[in-house]
Every structure is written in C-alpha cells, then in structure tokens.
Structure 1
Amino acid sequence: MLQQIRKLFEQIGGDADVEVRDEKDVRMISAALLTEVATVDQKLDDRERQTLVQVLQQHYQLDAETAGELMENALAHREQATSLFEFTKTVNDQFSEKDKYLLVRQMWQVAFSDEVIEAFEEHLIRRVAELIYLPHGLFTRARAEARGME
C-alpha cells in the first residue's frame, strides 16, 4: 500500500490539477491508516469494516460505494506497506491540528468498533499520534470521544 501512496506523492506538484489529487491522496492516506488499525490484529471484523466505511463516508462526504471502494483499495494494497513514516509525513504536511485530531479519533472509532482494543491497535494509534505530533491531551480526548461514540 505504501508503494501506491508513494506513487501518488510523486504525482503531486507537477500538474495544474494538484488540488484534485491532493484531496484524493488525503482520502487514500486516511483509508490506509484506518485500514491498518482494522487489520493490525490480522482479522477484519464486519463491525470494523462497517465503521471504516462510515467514517470515510461522513468525513469526506462520500457515498457508500465510493467509501467502500476506497477501503477495498487500501486493503488490497496493505501487503505493500513498508513504513508509517510516508503516511505520517503527508499528514504532517497537509493536515491541520484539527484534522490530525479527527484522524486519530477515527482510528479509535475503528478500534472500538469490535468492542475489543487489542494491544497492537493501541500501539499503532499511539505511534501514529506521536509521528504526527498530536499533543497527548488531544490523543486521550480522541480516545474518550471515540469510546463515547460506540
């Protein structure tokens, strides 16, 4: 998956339609990170899948089909993932602090959707929050808000 994201990064900056690709890239990065949370425990529960699609739909105002395709694309390219750094670099470059907070909250939403927080899920979310420089207070607030959304 990171290989595909890397290709998307290479496309940014050369053409006049960068804005269109930027939005697409941001959605793909969000889908990739949310998918990582959903699959870090090596199983994808139907509740996690449903929550992931709903989060993408709501946040990016997508229809169910487009959100589902985005998730499936992220899942299909998951094996190519090599590092979180490439994702988080773009998050740091393109997301405001509010967007970073929302991303972490969405990651928690996916993690909470199967009613079990695995150690791998928590570690991944914590690591992403650190790499995107989200203050610890916002990290814990995101977790608490996501828990209340169950």
Structure 2
Amino acid sequence: MLERVLSFLKELPSSGAAGSAREDDPRIAAAALLYHVMDADGLRQDVEWDRMKALLGDEYDIDGDELDRLVKAGQNADAEAVDLYAFTSVLKRHLDEQQRIHFIRMMWDVVYADGEVHELEDNTLWRVAELIGVTSRDRIAQRKEAARDVPAAKGTPTEE
C-alpha cells in the first residue's frame, strides 16, 4: 500500500502545487492529514472542506488550479495510506517545532469548522501530535485557541 502512495506521489506533475512532487513533499503530507482529520468523523461537511482549502491556500500562498491539485493529491494520498506515519514523518523532518505546533492549530481549525469536535477527530489530533513531536500541553493549548474562535462549539474544552 505504501508503495502505491509513493508511486502516486512520484507520478504527480512537476509543476503547480505539487512542486517537485517528491514523496517527502510536506505540502502533500499536510493536505493528506488535514483531509484525514476532516473525514475522521465520517461526515465531510462543506464548511470543513472550505476551511481546509482556505488554510492550505493561505499557508502555501496558492489558489485556483494549484490549490485544487494540492487538495486532490492530499485526498488521494490519504485514501492510499495504511497509517499516518508516512505523512507525519515527512512533517517531522521538514518542520521545526513551532511549525509543527502551527500545523496542529491548522488541524484544530478544520475540526472546529463545523462547530463540533467528534471523538475520532480528537483522537486523530492526539495521534498526529504525538507522531510529529508536539507535546500534549501544546496540543491542548492549540485546541483551546481554536475553540475560542468558535465559542458555541460542542466539545469545547474547559480544563484538560
């Protein structure tokens, strides 16, 4: 299965959002993980999809066809993956500590986009944070910051 993901990533066009389309492209890894957390509860809502695309567009300063290619590459990579390690290992290699914490915040922003945190989304965030070396303290701090932007959200933490 991992070989199919790597093969897919190598076959991506060399222009546009995928850039050099290497198997270790952190943009594709980020897109795959954001897609994965969005889909974790089994309900892909337009507000989550729109938030994911906006975050990726802002983060990588892309839009239009470039953004669509990146989102599609992330979606396809996630569909082919057997676990999260292929993506988290790429982010851990390419991002420094503050960038990894920022990525966790991006994931919480996608989770809170629909105003509700599902236990599977929460668990996915916990696993990703552990795999990329973000402490529980930083993960929870990012969750609380994201929750403050959605005060009526269900599953908003008070104290953890």
Does 1:72 find its partner at 2:77?
no
The one-letter code of the counterpart of 1:46 is D
More helix by share: 1
Fraction of identical pairs, as percent: 25
- Matched residue count: 143
Q: Is the 8 A contact 1:57 1:63 kept in 2?
A: yes
**Range with bigger deviation, 31-40 or 82-91:** 82-91
- The residue that corresponds to 1:116 in the other structure is 116
TM-score (ref. length: structure 1): 0.82
**Offset at residue 50 of structure 1 (A):** 0.2
- Which deviations, in whole Å up to 9, do the C-alpha atoms of 1:114-149 show, x marking residues without a partner? 111110000000011011111222111211222233
Residues 4-43 of structure 1: pairs in structure 2 closer than 5 A: 5-7=5-7, 20-21=20-21, 25-43=25-43
> Would the aligned equivalents of 2:5 and 2:77 in 1 still touch at CA under 8 Å?
no
Residues 47-92 of structure 1, C-alpha deviations (whole Å, 9 max, x = no match) = 0000000000111111143223321332234331101111111111
CA distance in 2 between counterparts of 1:2 and 1:107 reads: 23
Change (3 A) 1:47 1:127: same
Matched with 1:52 is 52
C-alpha contact (below 8 Å) 1:105/1:142 kept by paired residues: yes
Q: What is the deviation of 1:41?
A: 1.4
**CA–CA separation in structure 2 for the residues paired with 1:35 and 1:2:** 18
Is contact 2:10-2:21 (8 Å) kept?
Answer: no
**RMSD across aligned C-alpha pairs, in angstroms?**
2.6
Does structure 2 retain, via aligned residues, the 8 Å contact 1:5–1:25? no
2:3, 2:58 → 1: CA distance? 27
Please report the TM-score for the alignment, with normalisation by the length of structure 2: 0.77
Q: Where does the alignment leave 5 or more consecutive residues of structure 1 unmatched?
A: 12-18
The residue number in structure 1 matching 2:101 is 101
Counterpart of 2:15 in structure 1 is none
Looking at both structures, which has the greater relative contact order when contacts are Cα pairs under 8 Å and sequence separation is at least 6?
1
Q: Give the structure 2 partner of residue 15 of structure 1.
A: none
Look up the match of 1:143: 143
Q: Give unmatched runs, 5+ long, in structure 2.
A: 12-18, 151-160
Match of 1:14 in 2: none
- Stretch moving more, 56-65 or 113-122: 56-65
Higher deviation after alignment, 67-76 or 102-111: 67-76
Q: Aligned partners of 1:49, 1:3: CA distance in 2, in Å?
A: 27
* Equivalent pair of 2:9/2:21 in contact (CA under 8 Å): no
Q: Contact (CA 8 Å) 1:40, 1:120: kept in 2 or not?
A: yes
